[in-house]
Amino acid sequence: MQLKRTESVLVVIRDENNQVLIMQRDDDADFWQSVTGTLEQGEIPLNAAYRELAEETGIALPKLTHPIIDCRLMNQYKIRVDWLYRYPPGSEFNNEYVFSVKVPAGLPITLTEHTDFNWTSKQEAMQRVWSRTNRDAIAQFVPD
């Protein structure tokens, strides 16, 4: 197993009606989240956001008409103890770059790393996502 870098992206997805896409992790039924993923070697955060969006949801939109917005926010959080084995020895914290994107309502979703998904209101998404950084990003970057 290749160890993960301690840098990742978080992509908050909303549709034209400000419904937020959240997904249930396949390794923890209580863990709902937006799109997330580790940066690959030599990859810049914006490219990772586009890659992870397409990989995890099947959403691959033209960059010119549906740009992913760099929220210019980097969170640092403590890596879950259960997941430390995925990172280099001595890793404790992850740096997470935050992005958001607005997509057309009704897009088909193809899950590859999650077991379920829901389009929810901003408030419901904030209540259901597991991580504080995900909750804060939804609060800050999804309009009321």
On whether residue 2 sits in a domain, the answer given is no
CATH number for the domain spanning 59: value is 3.90.79.10
Give me the pLDDT at residue 140, please: 98
Q: Is residue 144 part of a domain?
A: no
Whole domain around residue 41: which residue ranges? Answer: 7-139
Instruction: Give every CB contact of residue 67 below 8 A, 6+ residues apart in sequence.
Output: 101
Question: How many domains would you assign to the chain?
Answer: 1
Identify whether 80 is part of a domain.
Answer: yes
pLDDT at 62: 86
**Residue 8 to residues 38, 44, 45, 107: CA-CA distances in angstroms?**
4, 10, 7, 25
Residue 85 within any structural domain of the chain: yes
Q: Which residues of the chain, if any, have pLDDT below 50?
A: none
Structure tokens at 110: 């193809």
Strand ranges (E), the chain: 7-15, 20-25, 32-33, 35-38, 69-78, 93-103, 114-120
CA-based nearest residue to 32, from 131, 104, 99: 131
- Does residue 42 fall inside a structural domain? yes
DSSP state of 99: E
Asked, for residue 1, whether it belongs to a domain, the answer is no
